[in-house]
Amino acid sequence: MIDKHVIDIALIKRAIAEDLQGGDDITSVSTIADNSVSTADFVARKSGVLAGIEMARATLEEVGLTDIVLHKSDGSPVNEGDVLLTVRGNTRAILLAERTALNFLCHLSGIASTTAQWVEMMTGTQCVVRDTRKTTPGYRLLEKYAVRMGGGTNHRISLSDAALIKDNHIAAAGGVSAAFSAVRSAFPASPIEIEVDTLDQLREVLPLAPDLILLDNMSPDQCAQAVTIVAGATKLEASGGIELHNARAYAESGVDYIAIGALTHSAPILDIGLDLRAE
């Protein structure tokens, strides 16, 4: 069964409408006969991890194409030169869908490929790579799906999933204890995570027994000290200042999670192209 997060038909419709702006594809209409038929392959130009193949298929179907064969599935490793999807049908329709399908496929595969690099850095540790809400507006479910395809896990999908008490909430509530008590009273069943900037703050919030403590912009050494202080009483997540080159040091500090906004907000695309064969 296909994950419901894989396909967003409304987004596809908006993307195609954005391309046409109520007019025609003037290049294709001018140069290609309306009954022209072609076969086209979506081909990986670089190696990586695939995500978004179902969005690509749905984009092709949205413009009336039905003869579609998927050669790879989401989450699969792909090599340069691999054919990912083949479509046969009206040439104008293929070219109308081309850019939109590739935009989804390249972007989501880029996120999956970037996530896979981070996950590989964690191999042999207990640390899990998680994303954040630093996603493209309107693309959150797709981008978080791509993170999972790369082997990562998801933090909150929405603000209603769990509480994350940060410095601004603490300031507005009049203190960390007040903020924690307010959340626990209003939403007793919701998980609560508290952000701390120092080890002293960590010691202050630990008696509150939050479900998770976020160590913000701490060094690997500070994270290791935090692990010792907590002694398994709650889960720890590190975030801020973490890059691929130092990710292993954070993982080896003993924290349970690292949260990486760059998985979604800074992942480069995976280069994928379309090769058309006119018939």
Say which DSSP state 6 is in. G
Q: Which residues are catalytic?
A: 99, 134, 166, 195, 216
Rounded to an integer, what distance in angstroms lies between the CA atom of residue 149 and that of residue 261?
Answer: 16
pLDDT in tens, 104-151: 999 999 999 999 999 999 999 999 999 999 999 999 999 999 999 999
Q: At what angle do helices 91-121 and 9-20 cross, to 10 degrees?
A: 130
**Average pLDDT rounded to a whole number, residues 74-102:** 97
Helix axes 140-149, 91-121, angle to 10 degrees: 60
What tens digit of pLDDT does each residue of 201-241 get?
999 999 999 999 999 999 999 999 999 999 999 999 999 99
The domains of the chain, with CATH numbers, are 4-113+268-278 (3.90.1170.20), 120-265 (3.20.20.70)
Length reported for the chain? 279
The C-alpha angle 68, 73, 78, rounded to 5 degrees, equals 110
Indicate the helix (H) or strand (E) that contains 243. Answer: none
pTM of the predicted model, to two decimals?
A: 0.94
| Residue 261 clears pLDDT 90, i.e. is over it | yes
